[in-house]
Amino acid sequence: MCLNKIGEFGFIERLSHHFDNMLGDDTIGIGDDCAVIPINETEVYVVTTDMLIEDTHFIKDKISATELGHKSLAVNLSDIAAMGAEPKFSFLSLGIPNNMPIKYLDDFMDGYKTLSAKYNTPLMGGDTTKSADKLIINVAVIGKCSKDNVRLRSMAKDTDIICVTNCIGDSAGGLHVLLKGLETHSNFQCLINKHHLPEPRINEGLWLANNKDVHAMMDISDGISSDLEHILAKSDKSANIYLEKIPISKQLQLFANQFGLNALNFAISGGEDYELLFTVNKDALANLLIEYANCFGKEIIPIGQITNNNTKRGINWLKNGKSITIDKKGFNHFT
Q: Which is nearer to ligand ADP, 82 or 214 (CB)?
A: 82
Of 72-80, 200-208, 233-241, 266-274, the segment contacting Mg ion by CB under 5 A is: 72-80
Instruction: Number of residues interacting with ligand ADP: please give it, by CB under 6 A.
Output: 9
Buried-exposed string 161-185: b where 16+ CB fall within 10 A, e elsewhere: bbbbbbbbbbbbbbbbbbeeebeee
Please report whether residue 273 would count as binding ligand ADP according to CB under 6 A.
no
Of 26-34, 116-124, 232-240, 297-305, the segment contacting ligand ADP by CB under 6 A is: 26-34
- Minimum CB separation of residue 20 from ligand ADP in Å reads 13
Q: Could you count the other beta carbons within 10 Å of the beta carbon of residue 149? A: 20
Of 24-32, 96-104, 163-171, 239-247, the segment contacting ligand ADP by CB under 6 A is: 24-32
- Minimum CB separation of residue 168 from ligand ADP in Å reads 15
Cα angle at 293 between 290 and 294, to 5 degrees? Answer: 85
Please report whether residue 50 would count as binding ligand ADP according to CB under 6 A.
yes
Closest to 46 (Cα-Cα) out of 19, 27, 68, 24: 27
Q: Which residues contact 277 (CB under 8 A, 6 or more apart)?
A: 162, 163, 164, 217, 218, 219, 220, 224, 227, 228, 231
Please report whether residue 79 would count as binding Mg ion according to CB under 5 A.
yes
Q: Which is nearer to ligand ADP, 31 or 314 (CB)?
A: 31
Instruction: Give the separation between CA 98 and CA 219, rounded to whole angstroms.
Output: 35
Do residues 66 and 110 touch, judged by C-beta distance below 8 A?
Answer: yes
Binding residue for ligand ADP (CB under 6 A) from 6, 10, 23, 31? 31
Which parts of 147-282 are beta strand (E)? 161-164, 214-219, 238-242, 276-280
Binding residue for ligand ADP (CB under 6 A) from 79, 86, 170, 199? 79
Please report whether residue 221 would count as binding ligand ADP according to CB under 6 A.
yes
- Chain positions 99 to 138 lying near ligand ADP, rule: CB under 6 A, are none
- Minimum CB separation of residue 140 from ligand ADP in Å reads 10
Choose the one of Mg ion, ligand ADP, none that binds residue 31, judging by a C-beta under 5 to 8 angstroms depending on kind: ligand ADP
Residue numbers of the site for ligand ADP (CB under 6 A)? 12, 15, 30-33, 50, 79, 221
